Amino acid sequence: YESNPNLVERAREFVQLQYSKLDYVGYDPNFDRQFDLNGFSQYFIALDENDEIIATSRIVSRGPFGLPIEYSYRSSEQLSKMEMLLK
C-alpha cells in the first residue's frame, strides 16, 4: 500500500464495481484499509496496456512467519485461539 496508495485505491474501486455486478453490497473498503495501514496486506494488480485494472488479488498475512490468513469478525476468545496458533 505504501509504495502506490493511488493504485491500491483504484483497485478497491475496481473490486467494489465487480462485487456490485454480482449484487453483493457487503464490501467495506474501510475495513480493508485497516490491513493496509498496518502492513499486513500484499497486493497483486494486473493492468492492461492503458493502465486500466483488469484483475486484483490481495494476501493478508499475520504472525512471525507471515502466513496468509482469512479474516472475519470473531469473538475475543476465538481471536486469542487464532493468535496462539499463529505464534
pLDDT tens digits, one per residue of 2-52: 778 899 899 989 988 888 898 887 888 888 888 787 777 888 899 999 999
Whole-prediction pTM value?
0.62
Instruction: Measure the CA–CA gap between 74 and 80, rounded to whole angstroms.
Output: 10
Q: Are 9 and 17 in contact (CB under 8 A)?
A: no
Per-residue model confidence as pLDDT tens digits over 49-71: 999 999 988 888 877 777 777 64
Gap between the Cα atoms of 38 and 81, Å rounded: 21
Beta bridge partners of 53: 47
User: φ and ψ at 6, to 5 degrees?
Assistant: -65, -40
Residue partners of 2: CB distance under 8 A and separation at least 6 = 39
